[in-house]
C-alpha cells in the first residue's frame, strides 16, 4: 500500500498570499496518477488536479500541481477567502487508492 | 449535468443494518465505475472500494470486507452501500464518487450520507 504524507498539517496564511502544500508518497506513483481535492466544511471533496498537474474543469489557473519523484506539490497563488479549506492528495496508480491525511489551510 | 444524489442521514442501533443509495444522472451509468469513501467525524478520507457498473463486480479495500456490500440497479442508475452488524465505529459520512473511465480519481462526488450508530 502506498502511504501519502501531507505537510504541513496546518497552514496559516492571509488572503492574497501564496500557498504551497506537499504530498510525499512512500513509493513511486505509477504514471503520475495523483489527484488533489479541496473539502470545505460540510461539503464533499471537489477535484482540483489530476495526473499530478492537470487542472479539473472549472478550476482557476491560480491552482497548479507539480511532481518531483515521489514528491508532489499543490501551489495556490493569490489566496481567496473560498480557498481556505482542507486539501487532500490521493494516489490512484495502484490499489488500494489511498489518500493523504490532509492539510488544513486556515486564515491567519 | 453529471450529478450523484445520495439518500438521507440514518440513525441506527448497534447490530442493525443500513443501506445507502447513490443515484447518478447526466451520463451513461454503466460507462463509469463507482467508488465509496468513508469519512469518520473530524477525520480524513478513506477509500472503501469500488463497483464495476457494467458487470456489477465489487472490489473491497482491506478493512471493508464481510460487513460491507456494494450493489447496483442499472435500471435506475443507482449504486448501493449496505453495512450490516453496525458498530459505533461505523459512524461516519459515506460518499459515493464516480471514477473517470479506467482511472480511479473521483469526480463528481455525492453530497454524502451521515450514518450514526448509537444505542
- A49: nearest Cα among A86, A80, A88: A88
Name residue, grid cell 504530498.
A23
Write the DSSP symbol of residue A57: T
Q: How many CB atoms lie within 10 A of CB A91?
A: 29
Q: How does pLDDT run across A71-96, given as a tens digit for each residue?
A: 999 999 999 999 999 999 999 999 99
B19 Cα distance to chain centroid:
9
> Which residues of B fall within a CB distance of 8 Å from A100?
44
pLDDT at B116: 98
What is the model's pLDDT at position B101?
79
Comparing alpha-carbon positions, the chain A residue that sits nearest to B62 is A96
Per-residue pLDDT of chain B (119 residues; tens, 9 = 90+): 999 999 999 999 999 999 999 999 999 999 999 999 999 999 999 999 999 999 999 999 999 999 999 999 999 999 999 999 999 999 999 999 999 977 899 999 999 999 999 99
pLDDT at A102 over 90: yes
CB-CB under 8 Å, A88 with B109: no
Tell which residue, A69, A4, A80, A82, has the closest CA to residue A36.
Answer: A4
Query: What pLDDT, on a 0 to 100 scale, did the predictor assign at position B91?
Result: 98
User: B-side interface with A, Cβ within 8 Å?
Assistant: 35, 44-47, 59, 61-62, 95, 97, 100, 103-112
Distance in angstroms (rounded) separating the CA atoms of residues B91 and B12: 9
d(CA B75, CA A8): 46
In this prediction, residue B69 carries a pLDDT of 98
Q: Identify the pLDDT of residue B102.
A: 79
- Residues of B whose CB is below 8 A from A45: 45, 95, 97, 106, 109
pLDDT digits (tens, 9 = 90+) for A30-50: 899 999 999 999 999 999 999
Residues B45, A92: C-beta atoms closer than 8 Å? no
Amino acid at each position: 500500500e502506498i502511504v501519502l504524507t501531507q505537510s504541513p498539517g496546518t497552514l496559516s496564511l492571509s488572503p492574497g498570499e501564496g500557498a504551497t502544500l506537499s504530498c510525499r508518497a512512500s513509493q513511486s506513483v505509477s504514471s503520475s496518477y495523483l489527484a488533489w481535492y479541496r473539502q470545505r466544511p460540510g461539503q464533499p471533496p471537489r477535484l482540483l488536479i489530476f495526473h499530478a498537474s492537470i487542472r479539473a474543469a472549472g478550476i482557476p489557473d491560480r491552482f497548479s500541481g507539480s511532481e518531483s519523484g515521489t514528491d508532489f506539490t499543490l501551489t495556490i497563488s493569490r489566496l481567496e477567502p473560498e480557498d481556505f479549506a482542507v486539501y487532500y492528495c490521493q494516489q490512484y496508480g495502484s490499489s488500494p487508492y489511498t489518500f493523504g491525511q490532509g492539510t488544513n489551510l486556515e486564515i491567519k | 449535468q453529471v450529478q450523484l444524489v445520495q439518500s438521507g442521514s440514518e440513525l441506527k442501533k448497534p447490530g442493525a443494518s443500513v443501506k445507502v443509495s447513490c443515484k447518478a444522472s447526466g451520463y451513461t451509468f454503466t460507462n463509469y465505475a463507482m467508488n465509496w469513501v468513508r469519512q469518520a467525524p473530524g477525520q480524513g478520507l478513506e477509500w472503501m472500494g469500488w463497483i464495476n457498473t457494467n458487470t456489477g463486480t465489487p472490489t473491497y479495500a482491506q478493512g471493508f470486507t464481510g460487513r460491507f456490500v456494494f450493489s447496483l440497479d442499472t435500471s435506475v442508475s443507482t449504486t448501493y452501500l449496505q453495512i450490516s452488524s453496525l458498530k459505533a465505529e461505523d459512524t461516519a459520512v459515506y460518499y459515493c464518487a464516480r471514477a473517470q473511465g479506467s482511472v480511479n480519481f473521483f469526480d463528481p462526488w455525492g453530497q454524502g450520507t451521515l450514518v450514526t450508530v448509537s444505542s
